[in-house]
Amino acid sequence: MSKVTTLREAVAAHVKPGDTIFLSGAQHAEPTAAIHEIIRQRIDRLTLISVLTETVALLIGTGSLERVLTGWMIQDERSAALIRAKQMGKLPEFVEYSHFGISLALLAGQMGVPFLPALTQIGSDLMKYNPHLGTVRCPFTERQVGAVQAVTPDVGIIHVQRCDADGNAQKWGSLGVDREGINASRTVIVTTERIVDADVIRREPNLTVIPAFRVSAVVEAPFGAYPMHLAGCYREDVWNWRREIATPEAMEGYLQEFVYGLRDWSEYLEKREALKGADHLDGLLVKNVVLSDPVPSGY
Amino acid sequence: MNRESDALDYSDADQMVVSAARMIGDDDVCYVGVGLPMLACLLAKHVHAPNLTVMTENGVVRTGLFPLPRATDTLGMQTWADQLSGLFYVSCLGQSGFVSLGFLGAGQIDRFGNVNDTAAGDYLNPSHRWPGSGGGNDVASSCDRTVYILRQSRRRFPEKVDFITCPGYLDGKPGRREELGLRAVTGPAAVITNLGVYGFEQGELVLKSIHADAGVTLAQVKAEVGWDIKVAGDLEDTAPPTEQELRILREKVDPQRFWVGGRRSFAERTATED
């Protein structure tokens, strides 16, 4: 059954104020198009789970987040997003893990178990302030080990290179916490560079990160990770983009011009080219594409 | 400070990167942080450790050379990798004992090798915030050896950090790490700064060599540590960079000079090195 829809409809149907959301990507392949839509629809009081993502700065800067579960996030006085959130009285609470900690929380969610043991974080002060970290005695050896509580996001959003209309989503390149995060999520939205025939998926099913029956909406969003990079597709423009949101005022201007003032992601891309030149997006396409050998299957 | 070394001038920061690179062996499997650790790691790979396996937090595992990445994840780092996985996978490799070396930057480091990448002052009302653990805690918890590279100042070398993000030898008492449940025979092994090279004895930071050829003095080192630092009985002068190391660093590792004087020359938002 086709789940192809627009980003406006997908976000309106599946992302609610107060939800816990997982956003995929760790610099690589962030779901920027979806982030814009969440902001445009002014969905707030969100709890965000994300690792190393750049473009979530926009969600912080609009005061959309109540809480952030993460292992690494710019939090000092140089973050325009945090300054802006503070000005609005909407500074999110940070719940801090190590990278492994957050991935274990998501994996436990994916596995459907209440927690997972871990041999990290236990010697640190992260334990003092994060109520989702604890210790447990191993029932077999009696030794103390760390424990990380499961997290199950209400909705997960992942941007991928290709997906079929039913929602079989394929992503490659570095995967950050994508597999754990998206599979832990109760409801899943996939944004994809291209919607492809099911045959394309089935010729290399090892690349599928989440199968169709777990996916609620499929949205075609070319350059959907811009200004971040996407393996095999395009390079990033994040160094320039950061300058555009480098101060609270600049971020305000950016949001008005490029998010609130526009109808959708395709209008955004048009506007980027109007600003940065008609060949801006083409210029980001990966030039020296490396093709893998075909992976045979069959019987 | 600059000084003539053979044909090439070099700075104390160059010495820092070169000394750090020398900590890396050809048969190491190294979990590397972005920034200065990556610079040192790539230098080692070019100069004396061509077989080094490099892992990054986002899931890249590779043995081939690569362009110096400006961020944690780059297409240059991904392309021609041996394996692309995720954060969970590389963390498991560490936790199960398959990572010989962790190589990290640090916000602050204390007398017993505990690192603060989180908050100075009160956690809930900090006077300064770093971005947090990232993979740092996992690396420091589980790699056989952990090596830190950072520019040295008194502020960054307090006797006791306000917040332990990455455990060192904790309060310095023997066996503390194992007592808490951390993997045995792990912990910080060395700290490299622009002033000197440090090791650990009975869990305590000890000055092993000073970058004398780059003009550094013992008094200067002591002035930039927040306690009375233990000095090795056989304190040495750091072996200066060779011409080959300096040439490769400039021409092959960082030809665009992303790094100058141990600091980023490009406008990245703050990282633990700042």
B195-227 pLDDT, tens digit per residue, is 999 999 999 999 999 999 999 999 999 999 999
Q: Which of A27, A76, A129 sits opposite B71 (nearest CB)?
A: A27
Element (H, E) at B170: none
CATH class of A7-97+152-284: alpha beta
**Distance of alpha carbon A27 from alpha carbon A268, whole angstroms:** 20
Output the pLDDT for position A166: 98
Q: What is the mean predicted confidence (pLDDT) over A61-88? A: 91
Give the global pTM.
0.96
Asked whether the predicted pLDDT for residue A74 surpasses 90, the reply is no
**Distance of alpha carbon A141 from alpha carbon B181, whole angstroms:** 12
**Distance of alpha carbon B224 from alpha carbon B202, whole angstroms:** 22
Output the pLDDT for position B268: 53
**What residues does each domain of chain A span?**
7-97+152-284
**Distance of alpha carbon B90 from alpha carbon B84, whole angstroms:** 10
Select from 3.40.50.300, 3.30.1330.30, 3.40.1030.10, 3.40.1080.10 the CATH code of B2-264: 3.40.1080.10
**Distance of alpha carbon A12 from alpha carbon A8, whole angstroms:** 6
Catalytic-residue membership of B236: no
Element (H, E) at A147: strand A144-149
Please name which of A156, A167, A276, A179 lies closest in space to residue A223, comparing C-alpha atoms.
Answer: A276
Output the pLDDT for position B96: 97
A219-260 pLDDT, tens digit per residue, is 999 999 999 999 999 999 999 999 999 999 999 999 999 999
Work out how many CB contacts closer than 8 A connect A with B.
Answer: 181
Catalytic option among B57, B224, B245, B273? B57
B238-250 pLDDT, tens digit per residue, is 999 999 999 999 9
Q: Which residue has the tokens 């960079």?
A: B241
Asked whether the predicted pLDDT for residue A155 surpasses 90, the reply is yes
Residue A258: helix, strand or coil by DSSP? helix
Element (H, E) at A180: helix A178-184
A109-132 pLDDT, tens digit per residue, is 999 999 999 999 999 999 999 999
Is B160 in CB contact (< 8 Å) with chain A? no
Output the pLDDT for position B7: 58
Provide the 8-state DSSP code for A206.
Answer: G
Chain-centre distance of CA B180, in angstroms? 24
**Distance of alpha carbon A210 from alpha carbon A171, whole angstroms:** 9
Q: B61, B82, B133, B266: best mutation site toward chain A, by most A Cβ within 10 Å?
A: B133
The minimum CA-CA distance between B224 and chain A, rounded to whole Å, is 24
- Which stretches of chain B score pLDDT less than 70? 1-7, 267-274
Asked if B21 and B148 touch (Cβ cutoff 8 Å), the reply is: no
Is A76 in CB contact (< 8 Å) with chain B? yes
Is B269 in CB contact (< 8 Å) with chain A? yes
Please name which of B63, B53, B4 lies closest in space to residue B31, comparing C-alpha atoms.
Answer: B53
**Distance of alpha carbon B250 from alpha carbon B261, whole angstroms:** 12
**What residues does each domain of chain B span?**
2-264
Q: Beta A20-23 vs A93-96: how paired, if at all? A: unpaired
Go through chain B and tell me how many residues it has: 274
Q: Which residues of chain B does A96 touch, with a Cβ-Cβ cutoff of 8 Å?
A: 118, 132-133
Is A172 in CB contact (< 8 Å) with chain B? yes
